[in-house]
Amino acid sequence: MGVPDVRFIFETAPIPDRRGWDRGVVGEGAVGARWAGRYGLFRYGDRRWLDGAIPDISDAASGPVRVTSDDARSHAIFQPVPSVPTPVWGRDELDAGEIWSSNSVISWLLASSGVDMDQLRVPSKGRARG
């Protein structure tokens, strides 16, 4: 998604090392259990990465989905990334009725920025887990 003359990548993924800030990590959380988050293997990071790259993009269910072409709306989506909640991944700590996952993060950002969710389409090859 673009912001005037700037390209940001947003990704929620494992943190392979303690140098997350080099890849734009602005929030971190534990995976599976809060106590497990003490170990790097069981941590995830929310990244807002200027001119970043998603190394496993070829594994995505389908191509990108355009959410908006409005620069102000794009900015409104990316600005609050550091404020995204970071509950334990794979748990329902927020009592939302579903586990926290990358889908939860994207939904939180879109809803909090005022995107009309009824206008969005699920990616053509998208599927729910389970």
Q: What are phi and psi of 125, to 5 degrees?
A: -105, 10
Element (H, E) at 48: strand 43-50
Q: Tell me the per-residue pLDDT of 110-122, one tens digit each, with 9 for 90 and over.
A: 888 888 878 777 6
CB-based burial, 58-87: b 16+ in 10 Å, e otherwise: eeeeeeeeebbeeeebbbbbbeebeebebb
CA–CA distance, 9 with 73 (Å, rounded to integer):
15
Query: pLDDT grade, residue 123 (50/70/90)?
Result: low
Q: Given 3-state DSSP classes, what are the helix, strand and coil percentages for the chain, each rounded to the nearest 5?
A: 30, 20, 50
Look at residue 37 in the predicted model and tell me its pLDDT. Answer: 87
Q: Tell me the per-residue pLDDT of 16-42, one tens digit each, with 9 for 90 and over.
A: 766 666 677 888 899 999 999 888 889
CA–CA distance, 16 with 28 (Å, rounded to integer):
12
pTM: 0.75
Look at residue 130 in the predicted model and tell me its pLDDT. Answer: 39
Q: Tell me the per-residue pLDDT of 45-64, one tens digit each, with 9 for 90 and over.
A: 888 877 777 777 777 777 66
**Number of residues that this document lists for the chain:** 130
Q: Tell me the per-residue pLDDT of 60-102, one tens digit each, with 9 for 90 and over.
A: 777 667 788 788 888 888 888 889 999 999 999 999 898 998 8
